[in-house]
Copies of this chain bind each other. A is one copy, B any other.
Amino acid sequence: MSAGRFITLEGGEGAGKSTHAGAIRDWLQARGRKVLLTREPGGSPLAEEIRRVVLQGWDEGMGAESEVLLMFAARAAHLRATVRPALAAGQDVVCDRFIDSSYAYQGAGKGMDERHIAALEQIVLGDFRADLTLVFDLPPELGLGRARGRGEVNRFEDESLAYMGRVRDCFLRRAAADPARCVVIDAAPPLDEVRAALLRVLEARL
């Protein structure tokens, strides 16, 4: 039995990642693969509890350091309890957000020193990396409009367009720096066109 493949979905808000995750699962299952859909932050009971702590409002506020440390604590739990066991059992794992979101949101977005994020990546991931990362890219003003249209603007989504621009640039920069792992998919067209582009990527890469 071969180990499963680890596929991560990245990109700003409103890019349709959740919908596309389902399409990837269907595509893999149609080829006889067992598939686990998961997301970050979250993906295990402990990680979901940490997610709740991160997303709730705190009168004292939440500093950038606490936020990034909680995100990586949740990631460590998710990997340990959910992702690694599934991969070892031969399942493909499709994960909505992973390490690139830490660089994009806490790093480029909030200004946390990228070297700190790299240190946390080393602690939690070691040399573990996704087999394929799909970056769903669209302009911030378009993504924010879509997210608001769904009524799904949470603390992270309710940020300025300048912030979301830095987030987007970081995703694109990381994808360009690691083309063996990352593929950028233009998420601005209508959903069925994006899905068609996605399926072409899956045919080529998996």
Contacts and interface: CB of A to CB of B under 8 A. Distances in A.
Can you tell how many copies of this chain the complex includes? 2
Contacts of A70: 50, 69-70, 73
A61 B45 CA distance: 10
Interface residues of A, number: 30
Contact of A81 (B49, B60, B116): B60
Interface string A63-88: 10110111011101100110000000
A83 to B, nearest CB: 12
Contact of A80 (B49, B60, B73): B60
A81 B61 CA distance: 8
Interface string A30-61: 00000000000000111001100100001111
Nearest to A46: B58
A120 B116 CA distance: 8
B63 A69 contact: no
A64 to B, nearest CB: 9
Contact of A50 (B53, B61, B122): B53
A46 B62 contact: yes
Contacts of A69: 69-70, 72-73, 76, 120, 123-124
6 contacts: A45-B59, A63-B76, A65-B123, A66-B77, A70-B70, A120-B123
